[in-house]
Homo-oligomer: A and B are copies of this chain.
Amino acid sequence: MSIRQSGPLLDPFLKPRSVVIIGLSRSAIGSPVSVLTTLGDIGYPGRIYIVNPSMTEAPGATVLADVSELPETVDLAIVSVARNMVPETLEACAAAGIRAAVVITQGFADADAEGQALQERLVAISRRTGMRIIGPNTIGVACSLSRFSSSFIETSLDDLPVGQVAQSGFLMMGHHLVTNEPAGFCMSVDVGNACDISLNDVLAYYGQEEAVKVIECHVEAIDDGAGFMDVARRITARKPMVVLKAGRTKAGEAAVASHTGNVAGQSRVYDAAFAQAGIFQATSAEELRLFSKSLATYEEMRGKRVAVVSFSGGGAVLAIDALDRAGLELAHLSQATVAAIRDLFPDWMGVHNPVDIWIPVAKDLHHAFPRIMNAVLADEGVDAVLCIYCSYNLPKYAQFDASGHIRDLSAANRGKPIACWSYGQDIEGFTRTIEQKRSAVVFPTLDGAARSLALVARQTERRMAPLDEDLPAAVKADRGRVDAILGGALADGKEYLFAEGLEILAAYGVPMPKWAVVENEADLVERTAGLASPLCLKVDSPDVIHKSDSGGVVLGVDRDGGLLDAYRKMKADVLRNVPGARLTGTVVQEMARPGTEVMIGMTRDASFGPCIVFGAGGIHAEILDDFAFRIAPIGRAEARAMIEETAVAKILKGARGKPAADIEALVDLIQRVSALAAAHPQIRDIDLNPVFVRADGISVVDARIILSGTQRKGEAAREPEAN
């Protein structure tokens, strides 16, 4: 056995010097759907072995009857035997010193219980032997640097510096097929069921791989959310990353479960995670391709100001709509720019952005088009050009063919993107010419062009002004006290905490009106002695979830008149509404001075951990979808940003001349909730609702803490209910 070179994890997969194919049938020889055909078509330069006892020869490969007959220690095995044969095949590979295997075969965790058990055996083999596995249920890898592909589907090699990772082979191999264009990536990995090599492993590899400048990612479910955010944050500090999250809907999530054997988390958690990790999100397979292609093509875009140069006035109007939807702006052309091209237009025609160039180009395109484009590109007020033209490049239309000009202009002006939307015949040949120097992209839609430009501008902005590190505040807290309360509650089998929840919050310095817990009528006078009227009474019972609806809340009680009556009436009301309810106590609380009602919540996602929610409180929490969502921990700037993105922020900042509320106190409270969630994994959910925010501070008026003894795997994140 030769001594193995140690190196980056995926090198044996993506850059193998030799490969053995196990499970190739005789009928696959010469078939268009066969890895051997693929390797022949793309000219793989390494050594190919086939293990098949019933085969004698194959073109370009050495055929063996058994893995043990291999004359060298090959870098990679491609395994597509029947599922029940996979474990022994992998054992044989490991015995032959093979350190990497792609398992194509389906029918593992993606299928039934037997498949799940088989997959666990693969994991065990990998752990024991050190052999790394991609798959099962994958079409594996493709790499243009090494001219290698493990796919049985025709593979197109491309040198666009995009590294692709997918949880479905469809996207990987389908990419160039969908578009009838070059593949759009130089490396691709389909992680399949990811029994060993994970999404995060591939991302980390692409992060270090020089050939990869942009990472595009198709995910259905992320198992290790915290690890994903960690690796993604390190990547996006240096390289842009674009993700397509499939299975966004409930129906879609069900299909994900049956497709990959995973359960997808809720869309909002993913949205927050991607945003916080600096990942751009695409909404369709087509947009994923456009975004990564644009980021790999355009070097930069230093602002949002776009000039529209169009063969058609009507097209320009649609372009402006698309730019506006994408958050871009229409550039203002300078007087000098207009003066430089004024003579090309009739006197009666205004020359401004959008520039309607039909009249000049109909007269003499090869003179007018480059003159206009050069003038517009030279304008300091222009950050990019969106060009709309007829893509006539049939010979008879040579006098209207702008493709060569666009190719050359874009190559000479790499600091200012030229985004193209074409109409006209022979689009494909025209597109090939324009994209020849990898300096411009032809977009299938104006919205695609505008959204891609907006992304390039955001990436440039991020590169030019990286964010300061935004650390969570250190929160002083009595952690021991909280652990003791939680331990006691869990021992008692409690799931919902109210009175104990208030104590926990107090231990983390959460601002609340003064309160006391009363267990009987004798307590009532003694324990409320330090409280100032008016008071409110709230029942504490494991059987009463919605206190108000059960008569378990009484407001505006005077301590020195009516307290006992109110106490008795509340208990009676609750017992009438919830017969048999265990009344473990009553919280007597000072009434908080009112303010704008907001809510802060925490819910623990099985993959990403604690998530923080902020939004409008009270009744508005129920009718408005006015929430901001973040994965904890978050710094003060991020907490401010999450407040800012809600509608209720407009009220907090002082609508119609009212004084601004104490937003910094809210930021502080978010930090405390985040710290509480981080330190005490027994807490599954926290609801603080309502929280009153005033100009002079805040009060948490009601609160609930929900425990989770065993953290449930695969549990979808839930929005806290209003209390």
A: which residues have CB within 8 A of B? 32-33, 83, 106-107, 110-112, 114-115, 154, 166-171, 174, 177-178, 180, 218, 220, 244, 246-252, 255-256, 258-259, 283-286, 311-318, 320-325, 329-330, 346, 348-350, 352, 354, 356, 359, 362, 390-392, 396-397, 400, 422-428, 444-447, 548-549, 619-620, 622-624, 647-648, 650-651, 655-657
Contact = CB atoms under 8 A, between A and B. Distances in A.
A303 to B, nearest CB: 16
A619 B324 contact: no
Contact of A314 (B170, B312, B362): B170
A184 to B, nearest CB: 13
Contacts of A311: 170
Contacts of A348: 83, 107, 111-112, 114-115
A107 B180 contact: no
A650 to B, nearest CB: 4
A166 B314 contact: yes
Nearest to A349: B111
A234 B423 CA distance: 34
A168 B317 contact: yes
Nearest to A153: B390
28 contacts: A33-B400, A111-B349, A115-B348, A168-B314, A168-B315, A169-B312, A170-B423, A174-B312, A174-B424, A177-B423, A180-B425, A220-B317, A246-B318, A251-B323, A251-B330, A252-B317, A255-B317, A255-B354, A256-B317, A284-B318, A284-B322, A284-B445, A285-B446, A286-B445, A620-B620, A622-B650, A622-B655, A623-B651
A447 B314 CA distance: 25
Given A170-B314, A177-B391, A285-B446, 4 more contacts: A106-B349, A171-B314, A548-B656, A549-B657
A304 to B, nearest CB: 12
Contact of A249 (B33, B244, B286, B321): B321
Nearest to A286: B445
Contacts of A392: 32
Contacts of A178: 422-423
A551 to B, nearest CB: 12
Contact of A318 (B258, B285, B447, B656): B285
Contacts of A424: 174, 177
Among all A-B residue pairs, the 8 with the closest Cβ atoms: A168-B314, A170-B312, A249-B324, A170-B314, A111-B348, A252-B320, A623-B650, A178-B423
Contacts of A252: 317, 320-321, 324
Nearest to A320: B252
A256 B316 CA distance: 9
A321 B623 contact: no
Nearest to A113: B348
Contacts of A349: 106-107, 111
Contact of A312 (B168, B283, B549): B168
A360 to B, nearest CB: 13
A654 B592 CA distance: 26
A477 to B, nearest CB: 34
Contacts of A648: 623
B313 A447 contact: no
Contacts of A321: 246-249, 252
A599 B312 CA distance: 43
Contacts of A329: 251
Contacts of A423: 170, 174, 177-178
A377 B623 CA distance: 40
A314 B259 contact: yes
Contacts of A447: 283-284
B346 A107 contact: yes
A249 B446 CA distance: 15
Contacts of A391: 177
A429 to B, nearest CB: 11
Nearest to A256: B317
B317 A259 contact: yes
Given A320-B255, A330-B251, A314 B218 contact: yes
Contacts of A346: 107
A656 B648 CA distance: 21
Contacts of A622: 650, 655-656
A397 to B, nearest CB: 6
A179 to B, nearest CB: 9
A325 B114 CA distance: 35
A320 B656 contact: no
A359 B255 contact: no
Nearest to A180: B427
A271 to B, nearest CB: 14
B651 A619 contact: yes
Contacts of A397: 32
A255 B322 CA distance: 13
A656 B619 CA distance: 8
Contacts of A650: 622-623
B168 A247 contact: no
A317 B177 contact: no
A648 B258 CA distance: 39
